[in-house]
Amino acid sequence: MSNPKEFPQQPTAASSVDGENLRVIGVPRRRVDARAKVTGQTRFADDIFLPRMTYCKLLRSPHPHAHVRKIDFSRALAHPGVYLVLTGKDLPIQYGILPVSQDEQALCVDHVRHVGDPVAAVVAREELTAFEALDLIDVDYEILPTISDPEEALATREPRIHDYGEEGNIHKLVALEFGNVEEGFSQADEIFEDTFFYQGNTHLPIEQHASVAIKDPDGKLTIWSSTQTPHYLHRALAKVLEMPTAHIRVIATPNGGGFGGKSDPFNHEIVVSKAALLLDRPVKICLTREEVFYCHRGRHPVLMKFKTGVKKDGTITGMHLRTLIDGGAYGSYGVASTFYAGALQTTTYHIPRYKYEGCRTFTNKPPCGPKRGHGTPQPRFGQEVQLDKIAEKLQIDPADLRLRIAESSNTVTANFFRLGTVNLAECIRRIVKVSNWKEKFRRLPEGCGVGFACSAYLTGAGLPIYWNKMPHSGVQLKFDRSGGVTILCGATEIGQGSDDVLAGIVAEVLGIDTFDVRLFTGDTDLGPVDLGSYSSRVTLMAGNAALQAAERGKALLAEAVAIKLEIPKGRIRFANKRVFDSAAPEKGVAFAEAVCLAEARFGTIGTVGSYTPPKSPALYKGGGVGPSPTYSYSAAVVEVEVNSATGWVTVPRVWIAHDIGRALNPTLVRGQVEGGVYMGLGEALMEEQKFRRLPKRLSHALVHKFPSILEYKSPTSLDMPEVVTELIEEPDPRGPFGAKEVGQGPLLPIMPAVANAVYDAVGVRIDEVPITPEKILKALAEKKAEREPRFGPDHFPHVNWPEALRVPPPWEGGDGNAINEVHHGKPQMQKEKVLTP
Amino acid sequence: MATLPVESQKTAQMRFTLNGEQVDVSFAPYKTLLEVLREDLGHTGTKHGCELGECGACAVLLDGKPVLSCLVLALECEGRQVLTVEGLCEDGRLHPLQDTFADLGAAQCGYCTPGILVTAKALLDANPQPNRDQIREALSGNLCRCTGYLQIFEAVEAAIVKIASETNQSGAAK
């Protein structure tokens, strides 16, 4: 018998400094990189211009699915100003972000899988020349039938988009059961079954992906790239280029927006690296906006079916979730996304028995991947809209219902995720109060409404993408005699403020100013590994590493100063750029002198820190996706005005409470919350990555409906509502100074809160996003005709689900392992194709 | 069509005022103002997000009015005044908008920031006391994916106050 209480508790990180008031942490501050950003001096990848630089363009497939019979690039190579043409044969080794999905080639060798898949690269003196030469490459394609959505993928075994995966065009099947969910349903007073659809959408960072590669003077490779994951790019480059990893340097330039869209190793990064090595000249590529749409890796379209059993008081007795996930043309993070789509349901509300079945299919569209909230916004939408329906049926206020079932701190969920601090209930109470929810819900005039929703998100993935036992983040600190402190860390600045997090923590511990700190980040040569800016991991993981390194440096300085002042070390304090006797604050030395004293005593002062997440109790196969050191929580109320003549939805106000642990820099935290609300409203109301088939007489190809910013609608300054942000600050001992994540969580409750508000306003359920005026008008017409006042999917197709891996939850004596064995769950990896050029 | 070598493509010559300084530049005549600024004049502060006039990242002021430099043929700028983000600082001091954007979280990734700063400057030059709706309207062509715009509005509003107080002080000093 195992009891969740028996799982080892977290080590407690230092969460305050000497019990004194914090001077940097928690104070709204100008971020360390702000000046560079407001003067236009932040050097993004495309801002790099080097002597003798050449330009690369990629020839992309105009067909969604085809075999490549022959490529003749002789005319392109003969074009004046063209230096090099590469095709798939030059870079045949497969790669991909996940070890189980090494299914991409930098340039397709013989098989293109979506419009935009690259087949050749031209490097020329001028970008325009390279562009012109693309027209001179003759590619002979054999057109293949295309698969446009998962239902077609399920029905079409041949041709296969990939020759690995489960079978046919199914990439991944997942089936997990935590407790007997049928038994849960038998104990329920009411069973709710609802089907939802979440349309795909894209990150739309304003910066287009760009990279510059050079062969260093010593013959090694350096690449500057707009990547969120320099460490993973480093590994992919070594693999495909067959070079020692130590001979490659990846420098992640500050990203002009990431949102998950720059987290995969990309074909263009590999191509310019190869070209730079061959030409011995700098090679640059900057994608056009249309190409960014083809890179994609955005939100997976997901069809989902929720079956939930509840008692009359709202207690959940069991939940069964099925998802059908449109993966697009490659694996990308998709296996992880498939698990994530079923992972976090249990982290917000107590679900004693839970079953998840997920199916990801390949389709001939740009690959989907991680976008802010990775895999979890779609089921969160379904879960929170269904809860609204449950609350209505049970005649319980939706906020009260959530309060009754909210999870509490330090529990282990049915699927064995160990929760840290859980302030979901406090978020709910706070937001009910500030939004005046009770006065508004079901009480606003026709056409106006409010909706409620909650969510949770990881503070960093508990496991790395490739199996290893090393730290997830490392920091080195260099202490200079001048009093300057240099931070070296692999963490990547994508706009979220990762540099500021590191500088803030180090400055707080050492009692100096953030502007006394210099940072070298995102550079695989200069700093220790940090796994990257994804899964909301930087604040907690790089932050804890920085905290440890700073504390170690502080100890050395304190010892040297204590000897000099002839006082016990314990009385030494660090503040205001001084190191002094806490009993007699006038007695002390300047911080720079403290460094000199320490250097004289111990030699050159440099310290390191690192962070490895605690072991997860989720020991079953698949339990690697979802564990996190701790989770953030959010609750939101969205107010809408719905024009029943046009279907147009206006959002005047949003209230959101976020359980942040501690806000390291409240200015940046608020920016992350509001940015999440903004992006959530875009997903809720307008953003969609849609495709259409060309007419049969014109190839019948599947093409992107609108690969442009103009047609891909996103909210402008005119659409942004007023947002009231409430931060719930109960420091979590797992985070540095108690901090938890904020980059992704606050997006999650927005979409369902909008849908619930639309129902409150006009009495129609829109069970899919985006909630467009057409859908509202259709649902209103249904309502008028006295049919079900709803717009949404009407069925969930048949999938041959495998036998579920059965894991008894903690309260049934489970130990985190499965009690049955199923010969299933890991896609057969395709044998790597290595062609000799 | 064979492309001429880089240097011999630079057949167009132009004199204009860039950030208050007279500039002579040779460039390929097909180039946009954005390309000439970034590629021929090394002014990379101005960014690009689409080259199609959709995102607003490349906004600069042409004779004081915001334009999308990706849609302006460089040759059209002969004899005219162009202001980019590099020209906002005066006497080594940040423009009040730059200060408030930096202090109030209005720049996250910073990629849309140069275009928004110059657009906001044009607004304040024309209307020193715009209200929130006028600020929203003026910035509606500049997409920002990070901030949700609210801290940008607040930074513009804080700059209005800052500029007014600086104007009063310099008036008092006279």
Q: Could you tell me whether strands A572-575 and A170-178 are parallel, antiparallel, or unpaired per DSSP bridges?
A: unpaired
**Above 90 in pLDDT, residue A698?**
no
Interface check A126 vs B, CB under 8 A: yes
Asked if A499 contacts A664 with a C-beta cutoff of 8 angstroms, the reply is no
What does residue A108 show for φ and ψ, rounded to 5 degrees? -60, 135
Give the distance from CA A220 to its chain's centroid: 31
Q: Which residues pair with residue A654 across a beta bridge? A: A638, A723
Query: Residues of chain A with pLDDT > 70: what percent?
Result: 96
Given its phi and psi angles, is residue A304 left (phi above 0), alpha (psi -120 to 50 degrees) or beta?
beta
**Per-residue pLDDT in tens (0 to 9) along chain B, 174 residues:** 444 555 567 899 999 999 999 999 999 999 999 999 999 999 999 999 999 999 999 999 999 999 999 999 999 999 999 999 999 999 999 999 999 999 999 999 999 999 999 999 999 999 999 999 999 999 999 999 999 999 999 999 999 999 999 988 877 655
Strands (E), A480-571: 485-489, 517-521
- Inter-chain contact A710–B52, Cβ cutoff 8 Å? yes
- Inter-chain contact A670–B3, Cβ cutoff 8 Å? no
pLDDT in the model for residue A657:
98
**Above 70 in pLDDT, residue A20?**
no
**Above 70 in pLDDT, residue A482?**
yes
**Above 60 in pLDDT, residue A824?**
no
pLDDT digits (tens, 9 = 90+) for A759-785: 999 999 999 999 999 999 999 999 999
Given its phi and psi angles, is residue A570 left (phi above 0), alpha (psi -120 to 50 degrees) or beta?
alpha
pLDDT in the model for residue B9:
77
- Inter-chain contact B42–A49, Cβ cutoff 8 Å? yes
**Above 50 in pLDDT, residue A3?**
no
pLDDT in the model for residue A599:
98
pLDDT in the model for residue A9:
39
Q: Which of B45, B55, B105 is the closest to A206 by Cβ?
A: B55
**Above 60 in pLDDT, residue A386?**
yes
Global confidence as pTM: 0.95
pLDDT in the model for residue B172:
66
pLDDT digits (tens, 9 = 90+) for A545-594: 999 999 999 999 999 999 999 999 999 999 999 999 999 999 999 999 99
The pLDDT-based confidence of A688 (bands split at 50, 70, 90) is: very high
**Number of Cβ within a 10 Å radius of residue A277:** 17
**Above 60 in pLDDT, residue A735?**
yes
- Chain A residue numbers with beta carbons less than 8 Å from the beta carbon of B114 are 40
Question: Any idea which of A403-407, A408-412, A799-803, B1-5 has the lowest mean pLDDT?
Answer: B1-5
- Inter-chain contact B151–A674, Cβ cutoff 8 Å? yes
pLDDT digits (tens, 9 = 90+) for A104-155: 999 999 999 999 999 999 999 999 999 999 999 999 999 999 999 999 999 9
Alpha-carbon distances, residue A17 vs A259, A345, A781 (angstroms) = 33, 36, 62
Q: Which of A38, A47, A289 is the closest to B107 by Cβ?
A: A38
User: Looking at this predicted complex, what is its ipTM?
Assistant: 0.96
The pLDDT-based confidence of A706 (bands split at 50, 70, 90) is: confident
Interface check A255 vs B, CB under 8 A: yes
Residue of B nearest to A203 (CA): B145
How near does any CA of chain B get to the CA of A209, in Å?
10
Verify cis geometry, omega within 30 degrees of 0, for the bond prior to A159.
yes
- Chain B residue numbers with beta carbons less than 8 Å from the beta carbon of A47 are 38, 44
- Chain B residue numbers with beta carbons less than 8 Å from the beta carbon of A212 are none
pLDDT in the model for residue B5:
55
pLDDT in the model for residue A2:
39
pLDDT in the model for residue A810:
98
User: What is the arithmetic mean of pLDDT over A433-454?
Assistant: 98
Interface check A46 vs B, CB under 8 A: yes
The pLDDT-based confidence of A212 (bands split at 50, 70, 90) is: very high
Asked if A454 contacts A402 with a C-beta cutoff of 8 angstroms, the reply is yes
Q: Which two tokens stand for residue B15?
A: 């004199």
- Chain A residue numbers with beta carbons less than 8 Å from the beta carbon of B94 are 35, 38-39
User: What is the arithmetic mean of pLDDT over A379-392?
Assistant: 98
- Inter-chain contact B55–A33, Cβ cutoff 8 Å? no
User: What is the arithmetic mean of pLDDT over A44-71?
Assistant: 97
Residue of B nearest to A676 (CA): B148
3-state SS, one letter per residue, for chain B = CCCCCHHHHCCEEEEEEECCEEEEEEECCCCEHHHHHHHHCCCCCCCCCCCCCCCCCCEEEECCEEEECCCCEHHHHCCCEEECHHHCCECCECCHHHHHHHHCCCCCCCCCHHHHHHHHHHHHHHCCCCCHHHHHHHCCCCCCCCCCCHHHHHHHHHHHHHHHHHHHHHHHHC
Q: How many CB pairs under 8 A join A and B?
A: 191
- Inter-chain contact B107–A496, Cβ cutoff 8 Å? no
**Above 80 in pLDDT, residue A317?**
yes
pLDDT in the model for residue A695:
83
Interface test with B, best of A31, A38, A42, A668 (most B CBs within 10 A): A38
pLDDT digits (tens, 9 = 90+) for A164-176: 999 999 999 999 9
**For residues B148 and A656, what is the distance between their CA atoms, to the nearest angstrom?**
14
Mean predicted lDDT score pLDDT of chain A: 95
In the three-class reduction of DSSP (H, G, I as helix; E, B as strand; rest coil), residue A95 is classed as strand
- Chain A residue numbers with beta carbons less than 8 Å from the beta carbon of B153 are 717
